[in-house]
Structure 1
Amino acid sequence: MAAPRLPPARLSGVMVPAPIQDLEALRALTALFKEQRNRETAPRSIFQRVLGILKKSSQDVELACRDPSQAEHLASSLQLITECFRCLRNACIECSVNQDSIRNLDTIGVAVDLILLFRELQTEQESLLTAFRCGLQFLGNVASRNEESQSIVWAHAFPELFFTCLNHHDKKIVAYSSMIMFTTLNLERMNELQENLNIAISVIEAHQKQPESEWPFLVITDHFLKSPELVKAMYAKLTNPERVTFLDLMIAKMVGDDPLTKDDIPMFLSHAELVASTFVDDCRGVLKVTSEHQTEDEEVLAIIRLLDVLCEMTANPDLLVYLQGFPGLLERAIDLLRLVHVAGKDTTNLFTATGCIKADADISSVADGFKSHLIRLIGNLCYKNRENQDKVGRAPCFDVWNVWLGRRHPVNELDGIPLILDNCSIDDSNPFLTQWVVYTIRNLTEDNSQNQDLIAKMEEQGLADPSVLKKMGFEVEKRGEKLILKPTGEAPQP
């Protein structure tokens, strides 16, 4: 290709104002590199000359960093820097030969050093931001699908450039630096993030500030979640609002258009252990929410999101089997349901059933949906699991040994069925509560005659309202001396 000739005077090292010819030549090159055929035939000498202009212009930036008064005179140098980056950016598009040539000239190191100089300039010139953005775009393109370039970019950029850019006020700079991280990260480099957790946390913060940006989202869902060690270390350091954000992204990964693969399951089993153990340890903190004045408690929000994640995890067959046997999880869910149910009955608070459905179906407090999700989790944990069915169904027997041991009720005897049935009511704070109760009762009674007998006896003793059972799609029939719980054949009523 016939490349525009760059004037040698600009490459001589003499400090003179940038000739317009250099800028025009660079712009012409940038335009030429939009075509694949031009990229594939570009001589290496072109990139040497562009690098020479970039190095010379960076000297002007260094001078301005030492003497802030010189920042006002950077306009022509910033124009050249911007066009150099644009030219190199375009040259790297789907062209590994150019990526290699540019990398081997140490252009990546020069670019990173120059970008780090930009942060020291005490100016908010739009021309500086433009050069900053184009430099990041170049780093992203030179690393794209090129492992050697990715390694060099990471070596120069981590951690300083990432920390600088991820915390920048300019949204595009944050997005482009996230794009570079997404492109260059691999499992080995995730270990370096564990030693620099502030960088990983900065990605979470970036997503909080720019939830519409795809790059921070992809860094977290496609990279961070593949490293259980990083997730565990990071989660311990996150604030409660950051934990809510991170758990939301974990849910997004599980319910997204692309289901979890077999390769994802081992990592998510580790995440399930973290989420379940944290929920078991911390879930009683949700009882802080007993008045309208505490609806924004950040710890409570994090606990509620843990429950949401567990609901989604138990919807996955592979994760369900693990969580059904997780020590204390089912017991804690029943215990917490009992506590919030009693709290809602004893006083008027956010756990009190309102007995109506809002027309607009707006969620007005952090506790909205909490009981529904607890019952959903219990139902999932009992799905085709006889041991858990029996745990929930057994009624307490207060014998002398349990009194002596100080137990409220024997181990594995949760007396959960009456509690779950007592929640079968319309409650605008808990959408689909009745439906989740129906689902859970069906899971508790499926192929379990003991739990079926228990509900039938409750109805006979007046402890279970026949209208509630009918609404759930069940009825009790007496056959001789035996009571039988059977489906009515009608769909459950909302």
Structure 2
Amino acid sequence: MDDASLPVFSLPENILQPLLTASNSSTLEKALKILIDVSRSPDGRSDLAFKNVLPTVLLLCQNLCYPSASHLLFLSLKLLRNLCAGEAANQKSFIEENGVKIVLHVLNFVGFTSDSDYVITRMALQVLANVSLAGEDHQRAIWHQFFPLKFVEIARVQKRETCDPLCMVIYACCTGSHELIDGLSGDQGLPVMAEILQTTSAVGFGEDWFKLLLSIICLEENQFPQLFSKLCPLDNSGNCKSVQPRGAFVSEQAFLLNVLSKILNERLGDVFVSNDFALCVLDLLRKATGVVDSVSRRKSGLPTGSTVVDVLGYSLTILRDICSCDGLGGFKEGGSVDVVDSLLSSGLLELLLRLLHDLEPPAMIRKAMKQGENQERTTYSAKLCLYEGFRRDIVAVIGNCAYRRKRVQDEIRQRNGILLLLQQCVIDEDNPYLREWGIWSVRNLLEGNAENQKVVAELELQGSVDVPEIAGLGLRVEVDEKTRRAKLVNVS
């Protein structure tokens, strides 16, 4: 496209001529492309700031709001983005020349009906993101014009190309501002986050800004329960519908748990987890186990395509990582409340042991049972693994809870869970790394606990337990050939 096809000569001279002069070119399109190249470097941006180019480009954007000028509008926004990339003079000029309102005017004009609109919207948001990095005054100027209604409108566009930079703008504005973070975490801000979640669950996200926002809202500001509830279906009056037991969750809620699980796993030991967050996840695990269908075996891992199973699975992986931080001193709330202790006091271990006990034994154990002398007396639950790795995830949470916690070690013994955990020290094709997690759990179960070691040493070897697997712990079971009783000894 060239200038001949556009009514560029209707542009005022005070807009067109400075750009042609600064670029030493004869057409507007060439001028913009040359200035874009110049503005890629710090020296180039500084020189263009000295020539006061930015106010002219803002005026140009205002005068290009007609359909046939979309290409030139895109180039103008790209130049603005470059000019505001770390150049304080240009960032200041942008605010002084009412640049935020001009960008808002551009976004209101282009709408969201075509691919070219999305490209322009993305570039406009990148302009705002660069401006927001200049400080609190710039952030407030953007926030005042865009929060919450325009943020919501852009969030509803189900395009990754617009959602990623939107998250970048919101995160850049909020960083370091308690007031803006409070706004995003409040009644006006949570609908923005809910719309962003609706979009990212449908189209995904390509950059980490979304995860950084979720970390602030759900973990730092402890608004996870409120955001989770805003994702439920709405009735005609805008209120959350009452849900039937088997429709207790929606896919967006499972997606939220999935992303939070990844955040915790990636930032293990580096992110704060509140007592309320942990207990809320435990409550979701309880609710999911109450409605889940455990009749059919699913061969896939998470996500499974079943919302309730995904909620259950991601709740387990979140609890696994919360409990794993006990070795680093645990998550503390207010410096005193141990989050893992709160989970245990709320019945986490009892729930996990019940879930594990209700499952049919691993395939290797079932085979041993069938070959055993007392096959006719062997009975076990017929409940199947809900997804590939379900058993492993349960064992992983138990193993992490048992790490240097005598209370947990004793409770497992008192609930007759030692043999149950020994049975998990096997290879199982439906549960990758089950053996490794089983050995880790038994190791934690026995460490420093004479009572538990005695129970294992006195176990009568049965086909239902492959006791030699604990050799991986540096232990060995010696068996009396006459009594068939075993004792636990150190390999060394």
Choose from 278, 281, 285 the match for 1:279: 285
Aligned pairs for 1:467-478 (under 5 A) are: 468-473=466-471, 474-476=476-478
Give the secondary structure class of the aligned counterpart of 2:359: helix
Please show how residues 21-420 of structure 1 align to structure 2 within 5 Å: 21-41=27-47, 42-43=49-50, 45-58=52-65, 61=66, 74-75=67-68, 77-119=69-111, 124=114, 126=116, 128-186=117-175, 187-193=178-184, 194-195=186-187, 196-211=189-204, 213-220=206-213, 222-238=215-231, 239-256=249-266, 259-261=268-270, 264-265=271-272, 267-286=273-292, 288-292=293-297, 296-317=305-326, 318-319=329-330, 322-326=339-343, 327=345, 328-341=347-360, 350-351=384-385, 366-394=386-414, 414-420=415-421
- Do 1:142 and 1:149's aligned partners in 2 also have CA atoms closer than 8 Å? yes
Deviation at 1:114, TM superposition (A): 1.9
**How far, CA to CA, are the matches of 1:329 and 1:125 in structure 2?**
49
Aligned-pair distance for 1:341?
A: 3.6
Instruction: Please give the secondary structure, in 1, of the residue aligned with 2:404.
Output: coil
Contact map agreement 2:360 2:381 (CA 8 A) in 1: no
Normalising by structure 2, what TM-score? 0.74
User: 1:400 maps to what in 2?
Assistant: none
Measured in 2, the distance between the counterparts of 1:260 and 1:92 equals 36
* Native 8 Å contact 1:382 1:444 kept in 2: yes
Q: Does the aligned pair in 2 maintain the 1:182–1:223 contact within 8 Å?
A: no
Letter in 2 for 1:391: E
8 Å CA contact 1:445, 1:451 repeated in 2: yes
Alignment length (residue pairs): 418
Paired residue type of 1:32: V
CA deviations 1:33-74 (Å, max 9, x no partner) are 23322422424753333333322333xx4xxxxxxxxxxxx2
Contact 1:379–1:439 (CA<8 Å) still a contact in 2? yes
> Aligned-pair distance for 1:139?
1.5
Residue 440 and residue 129 in structure 1: after superposition, are their counterparts in 2 closer, same or farther (change >3 A)? closer
Mapped to 1, the partners of 2:172 and 2:423 lie a distance apart of 53
SS of equivalent to 2:477: strand
User: Cα deviations across residues 216-260 of structure 1 (Å, max 9, x unaligned)?
Assistant: 44434553344343222112333543233323322322332x553
Deviations 1:6-56 (A, max 9, x none): x99623799xxxx98444444443333233224224247533333333223
Residues 285, 312 of structure 2: 8 Å contact kept:
yes
In the TM superposition, what is the alpha-carbon distance from 1:415 to its structure 2 partner? 1.9
- Residue 475 of structure 1 aligns to a residue in which SS? strand
**Contact 1:10/1:22 (CA < 8 Å) preserved in 2?**
no
Q: Deviation at 1:99?
A: 0.2
1:440-489 deviations in Å (ceiling 9; x for gaps): 22322222222222233332xx6x559722232231567xx9x8742452
Aligned CA distance change for structure 1 residues 211 and 488 (closer, same or farther; 3 Å): farther
Deviation at 1:371, TM superposition (A): 1.5
Which residue of structure 2 lines up, in the alignment, with residue 489 of structure 1?
491
The corresponding residue for 1:361 is none
Residue-by-residue CA offset, 1:99-143 (whole Å, 9 max, x unaligned): 0111111111111122022217xx5363x4443332222212222
Inter-partner Cα distance in structure 2 for 1:129 and 1:333: 47
Q: Which AA in structure 1 matches 2:63?
A: K
Distance 1:436 1:26, change over 3 A: closer
C-alpha contact (below 8 Å) 2:389/2:430 kept by paired residues: yes
**How far apart are 1:305 and its partner, in Å?**
1.2
Q: In 2, are the aligned partners of 1:324 and 1:381 still within 8 Å (CA)?
A: no
Q: RMSD over aligned Cα, in angstroms? A: 3.5
Q: Is the 8 A contact 1:311 1:376 kept in 2?
A: yes
Change (3 A) 1:208 1:425: same
Secondary structure (helix, strand or coil) at the match of 1:486 reads: strand
Amino acid at match of 1:90: N
Q: 1:106 to 1:433 in 2, by over 3 A?
A: same
What is the alpha-carbon distance in structure 2 between the residues aligned to residue 234 and residue 349 of structure 1?
33
- C-alpha spacing 1:323/1:12, structure 2 compared with 1 (3 Å): same
Q: Which residue of 1 aligns with 2:335?
A: none
Q: 1:376 to 1:485 in 2, by over 3 A?
A: farther
Which deviates more, 199-208 or 98-107? 199-208
Q: Greater shift after overlay, 96-105 or 85-94? A: 85-94
